[in-house]
Amino acid sequence: MPFLGAPPPFSAPFSGLQGGVDLLDANTGRLRMRVKLPEPPATLSADADGLHAKLLAIDENGQRLFALTAPGLTAVELAQVPLGFGTISPVSVAAGSGATLTIRGSGFATRTAVKVGTKSAPTSFVDMNTLRITLPVGMTTGAKRLTIANPDGETIAVDAAVNVN
C-alpha cells in the first residue's frame, strides 16, 4: 500500500514530497515492512491520501517494487522478502493419507519449517515462493492452523488453512 509523508501537490514539481510502500500481511492486515522510495511519488492532490494513484507494481517474487516517481520509474530491490502466505492446494485432505500439499507464498528459505495444527510437517523447499509438505501422520479431522517459520525466526500463521476430513 503506498503512503505519502505530506499532502500531494496540485501540480508538478513534486519536490518535498516523500513516500513509499507499506507491505501488509494480506491475512491479518499487519504491517510487515515499510519501504521508503528514494524519489518522490508522482501523485497529485486529486489523490489526497496516496492510496488511489496507480503508481506501484511488484514482481512475481515480491523482490522488486516498481513505482512511478517524479523523475520517471523507480525500481527498488528488497534486501529481504517478507514471509507471506498465498495459497495451499489441496486445502482439504483425508486424515492418515500422507497427502502432499503445495504452499505458495513469498520469502520462503531453504530451512523453512511448517506445522499443520500442532504437528511438524516434513517440508521440501522448491523455491522462494513454493514449499511442498507431507501431511503429518496421526492428524485428527477438522480445520487446522498452518504455521510457517523461517530460520531467522519470522513466522506467519493462518487459521483453518487445511481441512483434514
Whether residue 58 is found in the same domain as residue 99: no
Domain that holds residue 111: 84-164
Q: Is the domain of 69 the same as that of 90?
A: no
Query: Do 108 and 134 share a structural domain?
Result: yes
What is the structure's pLDDT at 161? 87
Q: Are residues 69 and 7 in the same domain?
A: yes
Q: Which pLDDT tens digits describe the chain residue by residue (165 residues)?
A: 777 777 666 766 666 677 778 887 766 777 888 888 888 777 765 665 555 566 778 787 778 888 888 788 888 888 777 777 777 777 888 887 788 999 988 889 999 999 999 999 999 999 988 999 998 888 888 999 999 999 988 888 888 888 888
Domain's final residue, options 77, 108, 135 = 77
Sheet holding 56-58, edge to edge: 56-58, 64-69, 72-77
Residue where a domain terminates, one of 14, 43, 77: 77
pLDDT value of residue 124:
95
Listed residue (39, 54, 60, 59) closest to 2, CA to CA: 54
* In a shared domain, residues 100 and 141: yes
CB 75 within 8 A of CB 63: no
Residues 88 and 73 in one domain: no
Task: Please tell me the predicted confidence (pLDDT) of residue 47.
Answer: 60
* Number of domains, the chain: 2
Residues 70 and 91 in one domain: no
Q: What is the pLDDT of residue 131?
A: 94
- Residues 73, 88, single domain; the answer is no
Per the document, the length of the chain is 165
Does 99 lie in the same domain as 35?
A: no
Residue 46: predicted pLDDT: 61
Domain boundary (77, 112, 134) is at: 77
Angle at 98 between CA 95 and CA 103, to 5 degrees: 100
CATH number for the domain harbouring residue 106 = 2.60.40.10
